[in-house]
Amino acid sequence: MSLQVEDVMVEKVVTTEEDTTVMQAVKIMNKLEIGCLIVVKKGKPAGILTERDLLRRVLAKSKDPKKTMVSEVMTKPLVFSKPHMEVEEAVKLMFKMKIKKLPVVGKNGQLAGLITLTDLVRFQPQMISIIKKLSVKEDAPKRLQKVVHYYIA
């Protein structure tokens, strides 16, 4: 039987509401030492706020983090996987979409977990072989190259 996303995902995912200020979100991320927050609207995932979003859409554009709402700078629409998706398919999706973090959405559109490329590489030697094959077939997206070369090369 193949490895499924639900077998490797982190279930305790930190979320924030879309009307949170960027400053509040950054404080949460710094306090918990995490690289992203899942943004929810009415209890369902609506987007993701990553460190890259903060660099590109806040810092580079000189936006005021105290006045800018997370909903203005989050990545949307949310790219996600289902809990029963095979891990290899999830990794292919991450490569195709050029993302390192993939939320997992279950029944009724509820957030079920999160997988990251870094977690997958650390999790299982089997993942290294899958990612190696993919990175040979197609160049790893620029943002993923650091992770691929650091952990796999």
Residue 41's pLDDT band, with cuts at 50, 70 and 90, is: very high
pLDDT at residue 18 is higher than 70 = yes
Cis peptide before 77 (omega within 30 of 0): yes
Least confident of 23-27, 33-37, 44-48, 115-119: 115-119
Cβ-contact 118, 17 below 8 angstroms: no
Place of tokens 């996600």: 80
Q: What is the mean pLDDT of residues 1-25?
A: 92
Q: What domain range is 49 assigned to?
A: 5-151
Q: Which two tokens stand for residue 123?
A: 């999790």
Per-residue pLDDT tens digits for 67-110: 999 999 999 999 999 999 999 899 999 999 999 999 999 988 99
Structural domain tally of the chain?
1
